[in-house]
Amino acid sequence: MHQLQDVLEVRQFDRQHLDSLFSRADEMRIIADAGGSNRLSGKILASLFFEPSPRTRLSFESAMMRLGGSVLTAENALETSSWAKGETIEDTARIVESYADAIVMRHPEAGTPARAAAVIDIPVINAGDGAREHPTQALLDLYTIGHELGRIDDLNIALVGDLKYGRAPRSLAMLLTESSGINLTFISPPNVRMGDDVKADLLSRGVSFEEETDLLAVLPDVDVVYQTRVQHERFESDEEYREARGKYVIDAAAMAALSPDAIVMHPLPRVDEIDPIVDTDRRAAYFRQARNGIYVRMAILDWLLRDE
């Protein structure tokens, strides 16, 4: 298995990588729950976030600290970094390289973390680039499926909501091509259907998918329903957003239709697409999913920085 230098997109991960990363995440669960370790003592993570991100930024920072490392953070980098003065991302990356041992970056423009990675030698982790990819979210999502259901193969999975602008469901769909026996169902308002690039990727790798409109009819047959927020900030007009919002909600009726052994996932944050009454149902896995983000991100940092 070749060592990865950066984490930029899910296509970098083959099944061997996933099995190795997920076993390491299991070890990290034990380490974190025992109070952490000093495995990354002396290492520094720079977190450069050009978009808001409570979960991804804080979980990466928490993961680094739980491994004994330190963090430099630019939370609102669009306003506070030299980017605001017109500096290129390449120059920003070159400067930060001399301050830190790895960079985790979120940016509204697709491909920006890859541009940074191309000019520096320290690892760059894509924490979400526009509506393109969110690879570490997909990794923690697949880890969560394995942890909750005991397998990452032979699954019926419904991806619901904004599949056009939602980078998390896009990355998860593409990562699932490393599993076998996957049947995907896409359920979305017509103006935010899954992108043709993702569909082409699935077809080229032999993963079957279908597009449906009736959520309640699909729910009895799925192992995982992966609900997503309509990404208001990425729409070109409010009218387009209004066409997409509120169409599919996981509520009491949806939970009644869902199999007793299935789980409900969501990358969070949610707005109104999961009724809070669902939170106490044991099948609601989304807060456990967010917690798994710590273990998977600890594993990613440990992998990139200890095995370099």
Active-site residue list: 55-56, 85, 106, 134
User: Which residue lies nearer to ligand CP by CB, 97 or 129?
Assistant: 129
User: Which residue lies nearer to ligand CP by CB, 22 or 49?
Assistant: 49
Does the protein bind ligand CP through residue 268 (CB under 6 A)? Answer: yes
Question: Which residues, in sequence order, are CB contacts of 208 under 8 Å at separation 6+?
Answer: 182, 183, 184, 202
Does the protein bind ligand CP through residue 267 (CB under 6 A)? Answer: yes
User: Which residue lies nearer to ligand CP by CB, 120 or 125?
Assistant: 125
Q: CB 192 → ligand CP: shortest distance, Å?
A: 17
Name the segment binding ligand CP (CB under 6 A); options: 13-21, 198-206, 265-273, 298-306.
265-273
What backbone torsions phi and psi does residue 213 show, to the nearest 5 degrees?
-120, -20
Strands 44-49 and 70-74: parallel
Residue 109's alpha-carbon distances to 49, 106, 127, 166, 232, in angstroms, are 12, 9, 12, 14, 16
Packing angle between helix 167-175 and helix 135-149, nearest 10 degrees?
Answer: 60
User: Which residue lies nearer to ligand CP by CB, 56 or 188?
Assistant: 56
Please report, as residue ranges, which positions from 30 to 69 form the binding site for ligand CP (by CB under 6 A): 53-56
Does the protein bind ligand CP through residue 171 (CB under 6 A)? Answer: no
Q: Both tokens of residue 46?
A: 């720079």
Interaction mask 131-170, ligand CP, x per CB under 6 A: ---x--x---------------------------------
Distance of CA 177 to the CA centre of its chain: 16
Distance of CA 30 to the CA centre of its chain: 22
Cα–Cα distance between 37 and 31 in angstroms, integer? Answer: 7
Residues that bind ligand CP (CB under 6 A): 53-56, 128, 134, 137, 267-269
